[in-house]
Every structure is written in C-alpha cells, then in structure tokens.
Structure 1
Amino acid sequence: MARVDRGLLTLLTATGEQRVRVGGGLHDAAAPAVGDWVAVRGELAVRVLPRRTAFVRTAAGRGSAPQVVAANVDLVLVVDSLVGEARLRRVERYLAVAWASGATPVVVLTKADVCPDVPAAVAQVAEDAVGVDVLAVSAVTGAGLDRLRALLTPGCTAAMVGPSGVGKSSLANALAGRPVAATAGIREDGRGRHTTTARELHLLPGGALLIDTPGMRELALPGGDGLDSTYADVTELAADCRFRDCAHRTEPGCAVAAAIDRGRLDPARFTAWRKLQAEAAWQERRADARARASEQARVKALTRELRARPGRPRR
C-alpha cells in the first residue's frame, strides 16, 4: 500500500496504481498503514495481511494510542541533518524505536555539502549509534548517495523517519531521480522547512521501495523493546555490576559508575538511557491499562447484547 487518504487507499499492483476504499472492519488497531499488504475485494480493502515489521510511534499526549507509521520495512533510515550541533539524544530516541520495529536501522546524515568537517561529525554520531551504519549524504552534490543506494537492493523496503526540515523529501527526490516529494526553501538558520504532509511509498529505479514520512514533533517510545540494542554499551556495562538490582548511583561495584569516572561512558548518554527506560516503563503501564479498559468495555457490551436478545430466559 502506497498511501492512505481519509478512508481511501492507494495500492501498487501488478497492473499499476489502484484506489480502493477501506472496509468496515479495518479500523482502529486493524487500520492499514503505508507498506501493508492488503486483500481487496472489488473496490474494497477487506483485510490487512500479517506484518513482518512495523515502525510504531506513540505521541506524548495522555490519551494517545500507538500508531503504525510504516509496515513491512527492511531498513529504517533515521535521517538527521549535519547543520549545527549533533543532536545525539534525538538520534538515540529514533534508533530505539527503529530497533523495536524489527527492521535494521541506518543513520543518514544529510546536507553534507554545508558541513565543515564531515568525518568528525559522522564519527561523533557513530560513537553513540552502536552497531549502526552512519552515512553522510548530500542531495545537492550527490555525495554519499551511492553508498546509500547500495543498501536499497531490489525488493527492499526502507522508511525514512526524522523531524521536519532535515532533508527527507530532498533525499527521496535524489534517490528516485525525479521529483516525488515536495520540497521547500532553506530558513535563515540553514535548516529546512516542513513539507511532507502524508506518509507515501515510492518505487525507486533499482527496484527498492522508499517510504517518506512527515516530520514527527513528538516520538514517545511504545515500550522498552529496542533500548538494549540502542544502548548496547550501557547495558553491557550494567551486566558487570556487582549487584543485579544495581541502581547505578552509589552502589559498590557499579560498573556503570566506574566507566563514567574513567571517561569510558558519557554521563549524558547514561542519563538519556535512564530517562528512556523510565519513559518506556510508563508507556508499557499505560498500554496495559488501555488493554484492560478495552477488554472491560468489550465484556460489558457483550453482556448488554446478551441481555437484550429476545427470548432470553428471565430469572
């Protein structure tokens, strides 16, 4: 599925694009997302096939529910810009959600043409992006695009995620070799403007598929999955602590505290890990509460339906 527009789906089929309506049963948790495979009956989408992977976001609002941003992706391209200081904490947050999706994350740093020291900037991000390829690219000069294209093999589906203004649309156009996404001018501070308004899947010349997504103002973790991979260095240190329930504060034999004292671990990275751990635990508790409320509502509705049936024996 290439796009969702208010109950209308744009599908890529063997015969070209097809527009269908969303069937009555495909709402809420079963709602189709860009990248989904769907079964169609006539002009109606009737079923979403099981997903291999899913990049799921949870907005930070009190009543927000998880939302599938892109489904069945092989690569999650975490896109950020080389304009200004490196935003390591933001990259870490996106990587945590990307690892949890089941896909392979790759960090793509855009606007390499305006960065005075690209190797140093890449090295700074790579030090935090443990186990993840970090690529610097320029949609203007084409620098680094060949390395990225080499990852986008035929049949591969990649989703670009990141905040507004980091150059996702320009990157999509450069990879496609034609205008597939609207772009806007550069602001006075060198950063881009928000242009993408809907998630959309594009077919690339080499046979790969690319999902462009709007910038996300908020990206809360749907749970703790992905944190161990994102902070593999911290979790490895924590496993060496003397006490299994070490809080990594003043306990004797704390390997994490020792690494910070020796300069092996950035205290800001450790603080970010603790913060995201707490956030993930809260999101999981909220999801459990939502699931319990949903089940209670289902049982009550079923009870009302049974009581209202004609011919029901009365006591």
Structure 2
Amino acid sequence: MVFCGSFWYMHRFNVTGINGDFLARLAGRASFLGCIQDGPQNMILRFFCCSETPKPKQDKEKTTILTNQNMKPLNDYGWNEDWDRAAKEALQSIQRDKRLVPARIVAQFSKQYRIVTPDGEMTAAVTGKYEYEAASKSDFPAVGDWVMVEPLQGEPRAVIHQLLPRKSAFSRREAGSVPDEQVIAANIDTVFIVNALNKDFNIRKIERYLIAVWESGAQPVVLLTKADLCDSPESHAALVEAAAPGVPVHAVSSLLDQGKEQLQGYLTPGTTVAVTGSSGAGKSTLLNWLSGQDVQRVQSIREEDARGRHTTTHRELFVLPGGAIMVDTPGMRELQLWESEDGWEAAFADISSLAAQCRFHDCRHEKEDGCAVQEALQAGTLDADRYANYRKTERELAHQARKEQANTRRQKKQSKKPGGKHAARSRNAHAGSYFELMDE
C-alpha cells in the first residue's frame, strides 16, 4: 500500500475538526503532510505512507510472564536481571492483550531486522505506530538493542512494539544536510578501536574514535592489528598510549596468533564488545580469529595505499565460543562525530587539565600570558599535532551544534503550519523513505 506523492481529494466533506492525528489514523499507517484549501467545501489532503506492517493475529493469551526458564535462550545473548527488570517495566505500559516477549537485535538490514527471542531467531519489523511516532532515526532499533516484540502465529516473524532503554549507544553523525544521529551499536560494554600497523596507521584518526566511544558510555580499547607487518609494534603502541591516556592499547597479529590472551579479560561471558575502525583494518579477520572459525568474509587491501575494501556491509552480532558477544560493523572512511562534547572532554582530558591551570578562565590558548597550554607546547610536553586535533574537533563540534540549533528552529516553524508537526516528524525519521517507497 503506497500513497507517496498522491493527493486525496475530498468533495463536499465536512473537514471541521479534522487534524493530523485523526487523518493519520484514518489512513492506517499514513502520516499527514498537509492540506490545501480548494474552494469553500473542497480540500486536498496529502499523505506520506510507510510500508505496511502485517498485523499479528490476536490470541487470547495474556502478556508473557518472564521467568528464568522461558528466558533461557536469551542468556547467550546477554540477558540478565537488569534487562529482565526493564522488560517487566515495559510490559506494564503496553496493551495487555498482546503476547509480548523480549528480543535482541542481532542484525539490521535497512528496515528489516533479525532478532533472537525465547522461541529462537526470526525476522522482524517495527509496527506502523512505532514508525509514525519515531522522532528521529536514533529512535529506531539498532544492533545490540533489546526490544519487546509480538511473534506472529505460525510464522518466523515478529513485530517490534517497544525499545527498552539503552545503557550505551555508539553513534556517529549520519551523512546528509540535515543533522541526524546514526546508532552503530547499542548496549555495548567495550569498543575495540581497530587500527592496522601499516600505511593506514593514524593516531589522529584513533583520537576521533576515542571521542565517539567515550561519548557512548562504553569503555574504549585500542587494538593495533597486523603487528606482523610492523618492525616496532611496541613503539607504535607507546605513541597511541601517549595520545590516549588511560586507554588500554594492545598490538595483535591473527596471522602469527599473537596477543589473543591479552583480550580475554574483555571477552567474559555475557559482555558485549563492538569492533570499529576503517575499512581494511582487520575487523572481520579479528572476529574470525577470536571465533576460531570463518564467520565473516574478508578481502585483501589495496597494496598501493593499504586501504581496505568494504567487505562487511551491515552490522551483525555474534556469540563467541567463550560466551562474549561481539558486534562487527562496516568500515568507515571517516567518522563524523555526533553531539560528543563529553566524549571530547574525556578524549583530551590532559589538555583540559592544562587549560584549567591557565591564569585567565577565558583563555583562548593563543598568546595570553600565563597560558598553561602554550607553556606545555613550548616545553614539548604537549604534542603539537595532538593540540591541533583538539582545536579541530572543538570547532567541528561547535559547528555541528549551530547546525542542530538551526534545524530545531526550522522544525518549530514547520510545526506551526497545518499538518506541519506530522510532516516534520516523518521527514526527520524517514529521510529518503519517500522516494524508496515510490519505487516499490
């Protein structure tokens, strides 16, 4: 069912009192975009329609009671008392005539998901109501999320009704003119920042990833892969440690089977670890190495510049033999930061500490007397390139904040127009979906 770009014409129909909410309900899963008056009794109505989600068959069974027994299949995916408590709280706010069970998102393919439930793995999609009410893309489930779903009777499918509160979210700014958050992985305990010890080795790039990871609420760990290609992996590790105070740094080689024992402390049963980094850094190879089998396809890098080819095309969650859960993610040419002020402070805590020692509280760290930052630069105790990256990311985040404020003002103006609230919501939550649906 597709109404995208269509106009519905209502002739001699009393439109008094009709609003966007009523029209959206009237059109099923359509979102009201606006109306145009055409004479005293005629009105043209425009709808944006989301793809139809099959309605689950209703049964008389009440909401599932969560017990240790029927949650057993989820234990391998990180189910614990905290999530049990969150699921029970969610059940209190959802219709009691539905058979809802918790599930974890293990893979994402655009608007389709693969989930694991107490009944095993199945595919899933969000309900039309969920899609309509989502204010932004970050409101949609991501790999690692826990959700409440309703399995369809007699089918290996389910519909997603609610997202359980996240304990962490590793995000980046999505490409495009309108600022929006893209959640790469959710509910993660540790993030392995992977950087290869070849021509692609870049400390400044590692610093950017550290900002995003600190902001996520997870703990960062830097893995320097392909140590067999480097004559002095220890010296490279020391350079990273200087740029990442307090962050564990490990040089490993899957080819030589070196360094695996250093990682076991992060891979305890039930913990979730995300792997991120540039294409060709060895993320999928790392996953295969830790799994003891080829669970992900890998490709060789380009010899001329050590750049990788996009092998992993979607985010997916895997359970390792030791009981840890690992999320493999596609490589990123560049990590665009998203609202990462706290992460920026944490990643450059040493510079922030120096700035606090300046004579003037509003010191710009340029030519002011008593500037502790400039004194450290002149003494050589603060790396000039690190400080330059500090200022670069500071300007980037400030620019992003201004764009976000401008976007918020535009949304407020749009919400004052007839149907504008619903139009803005649909455009923000489903950027690009309008044309995708027209092609269906």
TM-based fold match above 0.5: yes
Shift of the 175–304 alpha-carbon distance from structure 1 to 2, 3 Å rule, reads closer
Deviation at 1:99, TM superposition (A): 0.3
CA–CA distance in structure 2, aligned partners of residues 81 and 92 of structure 1: 15
Q: Which one of 125, 128, 135 corresponds to residue 21 of structure 1? A: 125
Q: How many residues align?
A: 305
2:32 alignment counterpart: none
CA–CA distance in structure 2, aligned partners of residues 303 and 38 of structure 1: 30
Percent of residue pairs bearing the same amino acid type: 44
2:147 alignment counterpart: 38
| AA aligned opposite 1:22 | V
1:207 alignment counterpart: 323
SS in 2 for 1:286: helix
CA–CA distance in structure 2, aligned partners of residues 194 and 7 of structure 1: 21
Which deviates more, 18-27 or 2-11?
A: 18-27
Q: Which one of 253, 270, 282 corresponds to residue 387 of structure 2? A: 270
Instruction: Answer yes or no: is 1:90 the counterpart of 2:205.
Output: yes
Instruction: Answer yes or no: is 1:4 the counterpart of 2:116.
Output: no
Which deviates more, 224-233 or 53-62?
A: 53-62
Whether contact under 8 Å (1:196, 1:214) holds in the other structure is yes
CA–CA distance in structure 2, aligned partners of residues 141 and 150 of structure 1: 20
Which deviations, in whole Å up to 9, do the C-alpha atoms of 1:189-233 show, x marking residues without a partner?
Answer: 455432111011111111111111111123222122211111111
Deviation at 1:53, TM superposition (A): 0.5
| AA aligned opposite 1:146 | E
2:237 alignment counterpart: 122
Which deviations, in whole Å up to 9, do the C-alpha atoms of 1:109-144 show, x marking residues without a partner?
Answer: 100111111111111111101110001111212211
Instruction: Answer yes or no: is 1:112 the counterpart of 2:227.
Output: yes
CA–CA distance in structure 2, aligned partners of residues 154 and 288 of structure 1: 42
SS in 1 for 2:327: strand
Which deviations, in whole Å up to 9, do the C-alpha atoms of 1:70-90 show, x marking residues without a partner?
Answer: 111111111110113741110
Which deviates more, 276-285 or 218-227?
A: 218-227
Deviation at 1:145, TM superposition (A): 1.3
Shift of the 204–217 alpha-carbon distance from structure 1 to 2, 3 Å rule, reads same
Which deviates more, 38-47 or 293-302?
A: 293-302
Whether contact under 8 Å (1:77, 1:160) holds in the other structure is yes
SS in 1 for 2:417: helix
Shift of the 136–261 alpha-carbon distance from structure 1 to 2, 3 Å rule, reads same
CA–CA distance in structure 2, aligned partners of residues 211 and 150 of structure 1: 17
Bigger radius of gyration = 2
Shift of the 263–31 alpha-carbon distance from structure 1 to 2, 3 Å rule, reads same
1:244 alignment counterpart: 361
CA–CA distance in structure 2, aligned partners of residues 292 and 88 of structure 1: 37
Deviation at 1:303, TM superposition (A): 7.7
| AA aligned opposite 1:2 | V
Shift of the 57–238 alpha-carbon distance from structure 1 to 2, 3 Å rule, reads same
CA–CA distance in structure 2, aligned partners of residues 181 and 187 of structure 1: 19
Q: Please give the TM-score of this superposition, normalised by the length of structure 1.
A: 0.91
Whether contact under 8 Å (2:278, 2:331) holds in the other structure is yes
Shift of the 159–11 alpha-carbon distance from structure 1 to 2, 3 Å rule, reads same
Which deviates more, 139-148 or 10-19?
A: 10-19
Deviation at 1:15, TM superposition (A): 3.9
Which deviates more, 39-48 or 22-31?
A: 22-31
| AA aligned opposite 1:163 | S
Deviation at 1:299, TM superposition (A): 4.1
Which deviates more, 61-70 or 266-275?
A: 61-70
Deviation at 1:256, TM superposition (A): 0.3
Query: What residue ranges of structure 2 are gaps of 5+ in the alignment?
Result: 1-104, 152-157, 423-440
Deviation at 1:64, TM superposition (A): 4.2
CA–CA distance in structure 2, aligned partners of residues 159 and 37 of structure 1: 16
Q: CA RMSD in A?
A: 1.8
Q: What is the 5 A alignment of 1:285-300?
A: 285-300=402-417
